[in-house]
Every structure is written in structure tokens, then in C-alpha cells.
């Protein structure tokens, strides 16, 4: 079995800062997904949805649980929070969750690709 996770290291402030950045990232992508699917929505609702995925990720990494279980749990939590916060039908909530996953992947690849490009710059 290949381990794709490492236990968080660093000071508690560094771990909390990393969590806060990921929570903010998923909050922004949740809001983008909600605006794309539902139209004009309040951003404060996305703050209830955003931190769930990073929280699950951090718990699974800290306890060395398998990542294969974290993904379905994170998607289920995302679905449940979107359903509760935005009060939409199951079908529309499933579509909203899918769009959130797609937006998160696309924006994540772009942001982390740019960071890798900047770090590899000469000088």
C-alpha cells in the first residue's frame, strides 16, 4: 500500500494557518460553485460549507487513516452542508457538490501550479 499522506508537522500555529488557508480556499470555491449553479447567493453561506473538507482531511492525516475513506466522507459532508445551508433538492445539491469539486480541482491546479512555477524561478 502506498501512503500518500504525511502527518502534519510544524508548530500549532503553522498547522492552524495551513488549515485556515485551505478552509478559505474551499470557502471561495464553494461560493463560486453556488453562484454558478444558483445565481446570486450570499457569501456568508459558503463560510459554513468551506471548512468541512479541510477539517476531514486534517483529521484523516493526523490519525493516519486511509485517504480512500476521506474522499467519500468529504463529498458526503459537502453534500450535506450544501443541502442544509442552501436548502435545495437532492438533485440540485448533488450537482452543486459536483461543481464544487470541479471548481476546487481546477482552481487548485492553477494556484498550486503557479506557486510551483514561482518557486522554481531562477534567482
In a domain, 105, yes or no: yes
In a domain, 3, yes or no: no
Q: Does 30 score more than 90 pLDDT?
A: yes
How many structural domains compose the chain?
A: 1
In a domain, 68, yes or no: yes
Assessment of whether the complete model's pTM goes beyond 0.95: no
In a domain, 5, yes or no: no
pLDDT at 1: 44
pLDDT at 6: 55
In a domain, 2, yes or no: no
In a domain, 66, yes or no: yes
Q: Does 4 score more than 80 pLDDT?
A: no
pLDDT at 66: 87
Which residue range forms the structural domain that includes residue 76? 12-119
In a domain, 6, yes or no: no
pLDDT at 103: 96
Residues with Cβ within 8 Å of 101's Cβ and at least 6 positions away in sequence, in order, are 75, 78
Query: Can you tell me the distance from the alpha carbon of 47 to that of 19, in angstroms, rounded to the nearest whole number?
Result: 14
Q: Please report, rounded to a whole number, the percentage of residues in the chain having pLDDT higher than 90.
A: 74
Give residue-wise pLDDT tens across range 64-93. 888 889 999 999 999 999 999 999 999 999
Higher pLDDT, 84 or 3: 84
Q: Which of 23, 122, 2, 5 is nearest to 78 (CA)?
A: 23
State whether the Cα torsion 9-56-53-84 is positive or negative: negative
In a domain, 40, yes or no: yes
Q: How confident is the model at residue 7 (pLDDT cuts 50, 70, 90)?
A: low
Query: Can you tell me the distance from the alpha carbon of 123 to that of 121, in angstroms, rounded to the nearest whole number?
Result: 7
Amino acid at each position: 500500500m502506498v501512503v500518500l499522506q504525511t502527518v502534519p508537522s510544524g508548530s500549532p500555529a503553522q498547522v492552524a494557518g495551513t488549515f485556515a488557508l485551505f478552509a478559505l480556499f474551499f470557502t471561495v470555491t464553494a461560493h463560486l460553485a453556488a453562484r454558478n449553479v444558483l445565481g446570486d447567493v450570499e457569501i456568508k453561506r459558503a463560510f459554513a460549507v468551506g471548512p468541512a473538507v479541510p477539517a476531514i482531511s486534517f483529521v484523516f492525516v493526523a490519525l493516519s487513516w486511509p485517504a480512500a475513506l476521506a474522499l467519500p466522507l468529504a463529498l458526503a459532508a459537502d453534500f450535506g452542508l450544501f443541502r442544509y445551508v442552501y436548502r435545495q433538492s437532492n438533485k440540485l445539491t448533488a450537482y452543486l457538490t459536483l461543481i464544487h469539486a470541479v471548481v476546487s480541482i481546477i482552481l487548485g491546479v492553477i494556484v498550486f501550479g503557479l506557486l510551483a512555477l514561482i518557486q522554481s524561478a531562477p534567482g
